[in-house]
Amino acid sequence: MDWQISEDTVPSSPVTEADARSLLGRPPVTGAWRDGDPVGHRSFAAFDEFRTDAGGRLPAFRLAYESWGQLNEARDNAVLILHALTGDSHVRGDAGPGHPTAGWWEEIVGPGAAIDTDQWFVIAPNILGGCQGSTGPSSIGPDGREWGSRFPYLTVRDQVRAQRRLADRLGIDRFAAVVGGSMGGMHALEWAIETPERVARLAVLSSPPVNTADQIALNSVQLEAIAIDPAFQGGDYYDSGAGEGPHRGLALARRMALLNYRSPSELNQRFGRSWQSSVSPIGDDGRFAVESYLDFHGNKFTRRFDANSYRILVGAMDSHDVGRDRGGVEDALARVTATTLVLGIDSDRLFPIDGQHRIARGIRNTLDGDRAVVLSSDFGHDGFLIETSAVGAHLRRLLDAPA
């Protein structure tokens, strides 16, 4: 039987163990949200047994989510927003207790914004396997210990099945729109392919129909960077003491990923060959400015994310192939009945624009025929998060279109 966890049943305290360790200048073992940390704006729904595509099992699981706006009486104004690989449910709102970062789509979602919360009821869950309130490797298992290396392999389809259970719990039979970027776009596609009757409109932003060999290769070196950190301990590092954990490996994985998220032109224009200080990096102890930029973001990342979750979510991304067991990509895309926006960034080197064009060709009811909308941006893959004015205008078009 399913059961509900309300915010009141999740204990919180003004200063957590994680906060205390941070005050000492040492990162916690994991950057995950843990029971006992401030709840912030999260709500929680808990469910019973979950079986995975690969034969794994969770005896129970929880999804954290946030919502904005009001669900109308007809329950037909719900918009589901699905986050990217290292995102979370905090689409809008300040950083603060319970939320290590500010909302990642503040300019897109809100009163009067492209996804207008005066009109739409917006839901954003943290995906299964994540580390910001939903069940993941840092969560406590049935034996009172963190799951760690025992956490089962997840696919994108597993994560979408968990999201559907949340929608059922909330009494939403059909979404007015399902919107996702990057890995969130993979989830959005699965929603529209597996349960087309539940998706009136679909937005797939900077996402491919399959994860290619090139993308899997890029992911594999990031996973290895974490695995070879001696503090990783095979994934069972949670009880290793304050200041431990595979922070160096996780930071290195994040630095590798950033090189795929941004474009060569942006890095070259922004940093050139400038030095970080007055000490030359040529034969001396100085550093190039771009090196310091990568270091800063890699180290910052370890304070809000969990290394095991990173590995689980990257593995799920590698599983992405809408054509698996469906007769191929085109047969799978032909199942989509939603009015669809497909959008990509011309400088995206993680998920190049040819993948978005293939999606647009395969879906019969797109806003722009058989070609994806292509935004010109120097920001590479992250353009769907940064070019909010242009992205917002296209999302308005979608939400104004008949379903």
How far are the Cα atoms of 60, 136, 255, 300 from residue 237, in angstroms, in the given order? 23, 14, 22, 19
Q: Name beta bridge partners: 121.
A: 78
Distance linking the first and last C-alpha atoms of the chain: 35
Catalytic residue, chosen from 348, 377, 378, 382, is 348
Q: Are strands 121-125 and 78-82 parallel, antiparallel or unpaired?
A: parallel
Asked if 372 and 356 count as a contact pair (C-beta separation under 8 A), the reply is yes
Asked if 181 and 91 count as a contact pair (C-beta separation under 8 A), the reply is no
For Cα atoms 258, 261, 266, give the angle at the middle one, nearest 5 degrees: 95
Q: Is residue 348 flagged as an active site residue?
A: yes
Nearest of 126, 114, 98 to residue 106 by alpha carbon: 114
Catalytic residue, chosen from 99, 187, 381, 394, is 381
**Amino acid of residue 184:** G
Q: Is residue 263 flagged as an active site residue?
A: no
Q: Is residue 381 flagged as an active site residue?
A: yes
Sign of CA dihedral 106, 112, 113, 116: positive
How far are the Cα atoms of 66, 117, 142, 319 from residue 110, in angstroms, in the given order? 13, 5, 39, 33
Catalytic residue, chosen from 182, 206, 319, 377, is 182
Catalytic annotation, residues: 182, 348, 381
